[in-house]
Amino acid sequence: MTPSPRSDGELIQPHSASSPAPVPDYEREVSRPNSRERGWNILATPGTYILLAINIAVFGWMVLHGVSAKDPTTDQLVHYGATNAYLILSGQWWRLLTATFVHVGLLHIATNMWCLWNLGLLGEPLLGPAGLVAVYLITGIAGNLLSLFFNVVPPHNYIAVGAGASGAVFGIAGILIVLLSNKKLPIPAFELHRLRRSVIQFAVLNLIIGFAANLTSIVNIDNHAHIGGFLSGMALGVPLVPRMTSGRTRYLERQKLTFAAATFLLFLFAYFITKLK
């Protein structure tokens, strides 16, 4: 029997793209660019647009090669890099990464990319292009690893197929909640509070939607990937906060150390999972 594909689910917009994003003082000029200029200027937020481009390109490549834009099969999703516990534990660990760029239909990718765009415009000025991409990859993999863990422990579900950027999107939301708690950011306190509250509402509301959707037979949402991405994003933000306003060099050094340590911990978690099979 062919299992039904499991997507990361639909997400909703956390805030309007017109909201100005805070810019920490490690930037050369402390300013808040015009929201429309920032939102549509690819050079202003290249990391966000690189991630959008890769996701859209992968989806386009799938459709051009015969994959249904509305209802792809599990075999098609697996062929293009979706997660599957049996295949991952058989050595195809790269699926933890590739699955973050594979989507289950047009609606799935449209909602995920809309949220990635909004969160990216807010998060990239705080993380930098490389930092945003690193957070996407690390938290996306972390979400898929937590999902893998729950597929390995009893009751086993080795045939489940997962795909989508939602774990990484939740990861960006998680780190933003922590970074926006820094009251030293050059932005009015009320604005900082509003932005942080909107991201929290986004995360909570979508987790509720995910759990509620799984009570129906309409869609199967992988909340383990959501939670794994979200918690790992918050964990990444904790060591970064003290260095956000201590100068660009020290902040980037803290980023590199944090991301390297997180990657090492993910390797350890993956090794632990292999001992459970």
Q: Which of 120, 115, 83, 116 is nearest to 99 (CA)?
A: 83
The dihedral sign for the CA sequence 105, 207, 229, 3: negative
DSSP 100: G
Q: Give the active site residue among 7, 147, 166, 232.
A: 166
Q: Which amino acid is at 254?
A: R
259-263 contacts, C-beta under 8 A, 24 or more apart: 259/131, 259/134, 259/135, 259/138, 262/138, 262/142, 262/232, 262/235, 262/236, 263/138
- DSSP at 212: H
> Which DSSP state fits 221?
B
- Give 236's Cβ-side CA count (13 Å radius): 35
Is residue 215 packed enough to be buried (19+ CB in 10 Å), middle (13-18) or exposed (0-12)? exposed
166 classed as catalytic: yes
Catalytic residue among 7, 224, 226, 232: 226
Distance CA 221, CA 99 (A): 14
246 is catalytic: no
Name the residues annotated as catalytic.
166, 226
